[in-house]
Structure formats: structure tokens, C-alpha cells
Amino acid sequence: MNILIVFAHPEPRSLNGALRDVAVAQLEADGHAIQVSDLYAMNWKAEIDRADFPALGADARLRVALSSGEAYATGTLTDDVVAEQEKLRWADAVILQFPIWWFSMPAILKGWVERVYALGFAYGVGEHSDNRWGDRYGEGVLAGKRAMLIATAGGWPEHYGPRGINGPIDDLLFPINHGILFYPGADVLPPYVVYQADRTNEARFEKLAGEVRERMQTLFTIPPIPYRKQNYGDYQIPTMTLHDEHHTGMAGFAVHHTE
Amino acid sequence: MNILIVFAHPEPRSLNGALRDVAVAQLEADGHAIQVSDLYAMNWKAEIDRADFPALGADARLRVALSSGEAYATGTLTDDVVAEQEKLRWADAVILQFPIWWFSMPAILKGWVERVYALGFAYGVGEHSDNRWGDRYGEGVLAGKRAMLIATAGGWPEHYGPRGINGPIDDLLFPINHGILFYPGADVLPPYVVYQADRTNEARFEKLAGEVRERMQTLFTIPPIPYRKQNYGDYQIPTMTLHDEHHTGMAGFAVHHTE
């Protein structure tokens, strides 16, 4: 199978860098084809701006979504963005790997999403009607592909527990797992998260490496997070709210899992 | 009072740009001193990397938190970062204004946080003991200051409602409000969010402008979100989990509000 790893850490000698090497080695040993987008090494442009849309007139008002859609439709996106879109189309599985900084992904990776996820490519796709609200949340360009996060955090696992002060890790990662990976259609696997990442000695590293190898070997077999698909009757259209009979009386991220 | 607006939109002629101008005009009319960090206009460097730590040896391994702490302690952070830290110290209120892209802040603003929030400035501050776990979550460099978000979203309000498919807006913004603003001690106000931002005609704009003016006039009077302070007995130390007697049996972001 084809695997894309989008890697966002500035130091190859980091724990993230070492775990990436472990993942790549295991995937290669298992016969997969691999591409790594090492965003820092590529000097990836982090912010979306006018330079992303070379066909936009110098005096034209930049409307990010519209300009993105026009550039995608007319083939005038920049080469670096097109290359990433092609990697996403090529991949059977996409792994985003990063340190959790301030409870989210690094800026450079967020900017990868903003620039690569063009209108017409990752959103604003498909029919909007009484029956469908676009190809999203379970349908879209990543449909049929798997996706997962490999992430490190400085805090303790308890700090990210159900009643931990940072908030539960699954809720903190929901905007990424549901909003960035499931949105364009991927089947999203449970994340692999390393806590207290700065406290990793050699013995612990071997344990973590074993866990990463195991996750790579089960990339195409473990069950994804059971998010609800948008266009299969669970949601009212166009308000896109969950029908009362599902998770009756509940609210929040958890209702978007099937019962 | 002193107000800092950190603004993250690439187009001054955008709805965000127009609402920022409304906010600034109202604050000036009310006699406040204002600084605006217009990140795109400043050509703000979005990604944190080795260049942020000029004193780091060319062959030294970059450890982002440690390098940040050393640079902060020795006064070797870059001038652009120091200038933003000084603005934060100067401010009585901090407003982050941005379009919500992929359910979070733009990359350029995330990178502002990563670079400006140095170790020793915004985290890793204060005593870690049986009684305290650092000056954070209600204490820290922003203590005594107010903070709020002004944000725009493309979707409908219902999509961000309690059972809306995107997830509730307050939960999507929790990593920012709680994890980025409350963490270093600010009193965080309810956000001002404009939905369906791309559907704004003149009549609607006048309504939104009136709402922004009102929020600016109540910046120092409306009650903040009642997040729980970390070091005042609500949490077990060092696991930083909420004591059982608070919101008994509940989990998730909401337990970190007082009852």
C-alpha cells in the first residue's frame, strides 16, 4: 500500500524524528511504498496568503475560499501545493506526525492543511440539496483511505484524562481527527500519543518504538473511530444537527460517534 | 486602558478587516490606548525553528522548550518575539481576531503563540510542589488582564450548536480560550463569533458592527468564562485531575467551569 507521512518537527534528532524513522523502517520492511513530507526540511510555507494564488489580480480582493476554488479549478495553485495534493491522492493511508504545542498541531502543519486543502479539493465538493450537504464528513477526496495521528505531548496522561485539567486528549484532537481528516472522507484511526515526551530514556524509547511498529503493522486492520457519516440520515439537513433519536439528550463531540 | 489586538487575516478589505477597524475606532473613541499586531502585514514568521534561537550552537540539538527557556532567560530571543511579549505585558486586554479555518486559528496566529509564548514567559513559570503546579490556568504573565476572541466562521450557527456536526463552538474554541489564554492567567471573555461570514451584506454588516462596538464597550465589565483556577484546591496535584466532589461523574471540557 501507499503511505504518506506528513511530519512537522524542526529537529530530526528529536523523539518525533526517531519515531518517524521507526515507522518508516517498519512500513518499508512490510513492503509498503512511502513518501514523507518533512515540512520543516522542505521549508514549507506556513501561511496562506496572496502568493498562493498567482493568477489573482494585483488589485483584486483576496477571498481565501473563493480564490482557492478558482485556482484549483483553473490549475493555477502553486507547485508545492499541487505536489501535496497528488501525494494525498496517491496515498492509501495518511499519517500526520507532530508534537502537540498549545493543545494543537504546529503552525507549519496547520498551514499545510490551509494551503493544500483547497476549495474544490477538500471542501465545497459535491451536491448541496435536501438530501446531501456536500461530500464531507465521511465522503470526499480521502474516502477509502485511512488516516491517523502520531503525536507527542509534554504533560502527563492524567492531565489529558477525562477530568484532567488540559481536557481529554480525544476532545482536544477532535478538531483534527473529525474536522481535518474525517471531513474530506478518511477513516480515522485512534491516535498514537506519547505523553511526557521530554522524559524518554533508552529503555522507554524501545517500548515506544515497539508500540509504533505495532501501530504501523495494524494500519489497515484496526477499526477506525466510529464517526457518523453526514449524508446517511443521522443529521437534519441543512441545519446539520443530529436527529433527536441518536444520543438523545446528549451534546458535544461524543454525539458524533455512532452508538 | 491598554488594548492589544492580534489580527490574523491576509486581506484588509475582508469582513475581519472591517470589524477590526470598527473595534479600533470604538476603543479609541472611548479613550483607550491601542496596539494592533497585524500579523500578515508584519510578515510575521509563522513557524518556530532554529532561527528563533540565535544563541543556539549550529550543531546543538534543538529542544524547542529548553531552547526557548534559555533564550528567554538570557535575553537572546529575536526582536520580533520580544516586541510581542512587551505588548502583552503592556496590555490590560488582549483580543485575538481571526477567521476560523479548519476549526482552529490560522497558522500564522498559531505560530505567533508558539514563538511568543516562550518557556519562562508563558509556561514553566513558578513553583511545582505538592501545593502548586506552576503559575498556570488562572495565574501567570497574563493574570489580571482580560482576553477575548473575535472570530468568523463560514458555517451556520446550527452547525456549531450543541448537536451540530462541526461540534459546539465553545468546545472547538476551548483549546484556545482555556489552553492559550487562561493558561497564562488571563480572564477569558465569551468569544464574539460571526457565522456565515461570507454572506454579509451592508445591512448585516451594520448589525455586526453594532455588536462589536458593544463588546468593546463592555470589555472590562462583562463576566469572564468561569474557568477553575488550578492552584486553589479544585484539582489533585500532581495528576491535575478535578476532585470527585466537583461535577461528580462528569467528564470533558465542561467540568473545568465552576458549578
Domains in chain B: boundaries = 2-225
Question: Sorting pLDDT into bands at 50, 70 and 90, what band is B255?
Answer: very high
Judged by a CB distance cut-off of 8 A, whether residue A162 touches chain B is: yes
Query: Above 90 in pLDDT, residue B200?
Result: no
CA of B49, closest CA in chain A: separation in Å?
6
pLDDT digits (tens, 9 = 90+) for B116-127: 999 999 999 999
- pLDDT at residue A254 in the model: 95
Question: Sorting pLDDT into bands at 50, 70 and 90, what band is A160?
Answer: very high
Yes or no: say if B110 and A104 are a contact pair by the CB < 8 Å rule.
Answer: yes
Task: Return the residue of A nearest to B170 by Cα.
Answer: A252
Helices (DSSP H) in A91-220: which residue ranges? 107-116, 169-176, 202-217
> Which of A11, A115, A165 should one mutate to test binding to chain B, selecting the residue with the greatest count of B CBs within 10 A?
A165
Please choose, from the candidates A180, A169, A227, A83, the residue with its C-alpha nearest in 3D space to the C-alpha of residue B252.
A169
Q: What is the mean pLDDT of residues B189-205?
A: 95
- Distance between CA atoms of residues A133 and A258, nearest Å: 19
- pLDDT at residue B73 in the model: 98
pLDDT > 90 in chain A, percent = 97
Flag whether the ipTM exceeds 0.85: yes
Please choose, from the candidates B71, B158, B81, the residue with its C-alpha nearest in 3D space to the C-alpha of residue B112.
B81
Q: In Å, how far from its chain's centre is CA B9? A: 15
CA of A185, closest CA in chain B: separation in Å?
14
- pLDDT at residue A194 in the model: 98
Chain A residues whose CB is inside 8 A of the B51 CB are none
Contacts of A157 (CB under 8 A, 6+ apart): A195, A196
Instruction: Label residue B196 left, alpha or beta by phi (over 0 means left) and psi (-120 to 50 means alpha).
Output: left
Q: What is the mean pLDDT of residues A23-51?
A: 98
Judged by a CB distance cut-off of 8 A, whether residue B140 touches chain A is: no
Please choose, from the candidates A174, A53, A186, the residue with its C-alpha nearest in 3D space to the C-alpha of residue B102.
A174
Cell digits of residue B258: 465552576
CATH fold of the domain at A2-225: Rossmann fold (3.40.50)
- pLDDT at residue A1 in the model: 98
Q: Which among A63, A114, A240 is the nearest to B165, CB-wise?
A: A240
Please choose, from the candidates A20, A23, A18, the residue with its C-alpha nearest in 3D space to the C-alpha of residue A219.
A23
What 8-state DSSP symbol labels residue A47? Answer: S
Q: What is the mean pLDDT of residues B84-89?
A: 98
- pLDDT at residue A130 in the model: 86
Cell digits of residue A135: 461530500
Please choose, from the candidates B14, B7, B210, B213, the residue with its C-alpha nearest in 3D space to the C-alpha of residue B96.
B7
- Distance between CA atoms of residues B110 and B98, nearest Å: 11
Query: Above 90 in pLDDT, residue B141?
Result: yes
Phi/psi for A83 (5° steps) reads -60, -40
Judged by a CB distance cut-off of 8 A, whether residue A140 touches chain B is: no
Query: Above 90 in pLDDT, residue B31?
Result: yes
Yes or no: say if A184 and A178 are a contact pair by the CB < 8 Å rule.
Answer: no
Write the DSSP string, B76-129. -S-HHHHHHHHHHHH-SEEEEEEE-BTTB--HHHHHHHHHHS-BTTTBS-S-BS
- Distance between CA atoms of residues A81 and A20, nearest Å: 23
Beta-carbon separation of B235 and A165 below 8 A: yes
- Grid cell 443529521 is found at A235
pLDDT digits (tens, 9 = 90+) for A70-85: 999 999 999 999 999 9
Cell digits of residue A165: 485539567
Judged by a CB distance cut-off of 8 A, whether residue B162 touches chain A is: yes
Q: To the nearest whole number, what is the mean pLDDT of chain B?
A: 97
Query: Above 90 in pLDDT, residue B194?
Result: yes
Q: Which among B108, B178, B180 is the nearest to A167, CB-wise?
A: B178
Query: Above 90 in pLDDT, residue B107?
Result: yes
Helix (H) or strand (E) holding A98: strand A93-99
- Distance between CA atoms of residues B238 and B158, nearest Å: 39
What is the torsion angle, in degrees rounded to the nearest 10, for the CA atoms of residue A55, residue A59, residue A63 and residue A69? Answer: -20
Q: What is the mean pLDDT of residues B7-24?
A: 98
Bridge-based pairing state of the strands B33-38 and B2-7: parallel
Give chain A's end-to-end CA distance (angstroms, integer).
31
- pLDDT at residue B259 in the model: 82
A165-188 burial by CB neighbour count: b if 16+ within 10 A, else e?
bbbbbbbbbbbbbbbbbbbbbbbb
Please choose, from the candidates B167, B216, B232, B244, the residue with its C-alpha nearest in 3D space to the C-alpha of residue B26.
B216
B186-200 burial by CB neighbour count: b if 16+ within 10 A, else e?
bbbbebbbbbebeeb
pLDDT digits (tens, 9 = 90+) for A136-158: 999 999 999 999 999 999 999 99
- pLDDT at residue A131 in the model: 87
CA of A31, closest CA in chain B: separation in Å?
32
- pLDDT at residue B9 in the model: 98
Please choose, from the candidates B15, B32, B21, B66, the residue with its C-alpha nearest in 3D space to the C-alpha of residue B193.
B15
